[in-house]
């Protein structure tokens, strides 16, 4: 830990560049680096897991989080999509973030997987989810000196909304595979995604949707063959990684359909009119937008929206789709880690300049 602070003061990013999670040899014994030193942390007994109490207008509940690593200046809270999917599909982070020395937190939002799942539709609002994220931030002791918020899909909606209310607590923001407008997404689905599906299959999909029989096996069979393997995760369905399958198997469908709507080719539900395009200029923290060429979300729109953030940048995964952390994995994490490294390096140089200024005076 002291070594990480020293690097920051010197304006270096060594803790984020050469695998802070690796073991180094000192004499005849292995010595853990600061990234793996969990001594003094209050979650050691549970392997990094914390069940965090959440207050809501409908009572008190608990949400599940799990910490990986230890870095006092770079901590990423991961917001999963859905709504009501699970943290599990973020597990690809395990292959990249430890080697980069980045601390990160898995988190199941209320209603998802290991967190409480109350059956009360009044709880499922954007505003209440934002309040939840803020309570999680406080419980995990995240602040503007270390707090990166990364949201994928619906998690991107939540991350934007959080930043609009609480950006004073953020060091950096990541919006992954999400447009800032549901109407714009629906327009893209109608203009690009649906016409790209085989006409016979699309006609059958539309017949099923018209009857409201979204749970029948044939509906998912058609979507997997004609949509999912092209725009959600560009691998054969029987080759999808286990974390993705586990996350999808545990989706809380009542919550999902209430917020997103039942159709997989466009959104409805409570989110149907959500649009924050005109408000992105209000988010002044460094922001990364990650898009993919084959995404369900319009990559051209995501590039445009990145330009609306005062400190925005865009990272394209040319071979990826909606789950680009899997089907264009190296590109995805190169962009995510590079974004965090750049902020850390700027912060280190600013700290070094302050020290230099005080010394010279």
Which residue numbers are catalytic?
153, 295, 322
Cβ 150 vs Cβ 77: under 8 Å: yes
Backbone angles phi, psi at 56, to 5 degrees: -135, 165
- Residue 201 CB coordination number (10 Å): 15
Spatial separation of the C-alpha atoms in residues 278 and 297, rounded to whole Å: 18
Nearest in space to 291 (alpha carbons), one of 322, 260, 245, 337: 322
Cβ 291 vs Cβ 316: under 8 Å: yes
Spatial separation of the C-alpha atoms in residues 330 and 333, rounded to whole Å: 5
Tokens matching residue 335: 């962009």
Residue 312, strand partner residues: 287
- Residue 268 CB coordination number (10 Å): 15
Residue 51, strand partner residues: 64
Give, as one character, the DSSP assignment of residue 33. -
């Amino acid at each position: 830990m002291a070594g990480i602070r020293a690097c920051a003061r010197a304006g270096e990013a060594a803790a984020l560049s050469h695998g802070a999670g690796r073991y180094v040899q000192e004499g005849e014994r292995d010595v853990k680096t600061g990234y793996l030193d969990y001594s003094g942390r209050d979650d050691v007994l549970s392997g990094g897991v914390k069940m965090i109490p959440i207050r809501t207008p409908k009572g008190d509940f608990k949400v599940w989080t799990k910490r990986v690593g230890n870095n006092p200046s770079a901590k990423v809270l991961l917001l999963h999509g859905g709504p009501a999917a699970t943290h599990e599909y973020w597990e690809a982070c395990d292959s990249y973030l430890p080697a980069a020395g980045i601390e990160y937190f898995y988190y199941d939002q209320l209603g998802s997987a290991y967190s409480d799942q109350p059956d009360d539709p009044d709880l499922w609002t954007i505003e209440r989810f934002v309040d939840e994220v803020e309570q999680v931030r406080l419980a995990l002791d995240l602040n503007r000196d270390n707090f990166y918020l990364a949201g994928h899909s619906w998690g991107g909606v939540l991350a934007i909304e959080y930043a609009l209310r609480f950006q004073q607590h953020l060091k950096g923001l990541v919006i992954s595979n999400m447009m800032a407008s549901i109407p714009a997404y629906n327009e893209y689905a109608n203009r690009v995604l649906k016409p790209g599906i085989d006409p016979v299959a699309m006609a059958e999909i539309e017949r099923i949707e018209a009857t409201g029989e979204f749970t029948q096996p044939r509906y998912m069979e058609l979507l997997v063959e004609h949509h999912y393997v092209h725009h959600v995760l560009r691998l054969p369905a029987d080759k999808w990684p286990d974390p993705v399958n586990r996350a999808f198997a545990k989706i809380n469908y009542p919550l999902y359909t209430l917020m997103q709507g039942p159709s997989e080719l466009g959104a409805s539900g409570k989110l149907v009119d959500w649009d924050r395009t005109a408000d992105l200029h209000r988010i002044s923290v460094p922001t990364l937008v990650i898009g993919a060429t084959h995404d369900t979300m319009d990559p051209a729109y995501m590039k445009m929206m990145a330009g609306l953030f005062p400190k925005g940048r865009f990272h394209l995964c040319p071979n990826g789709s909606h789950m680009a952390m899997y089907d264009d994995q190296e590109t995805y994490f190169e962009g995510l880690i590079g974004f965090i490294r750049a902020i850390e390096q700027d912060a280190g140089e600013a700290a070094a300049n302050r020290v230099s200024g005080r010394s010279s005076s």
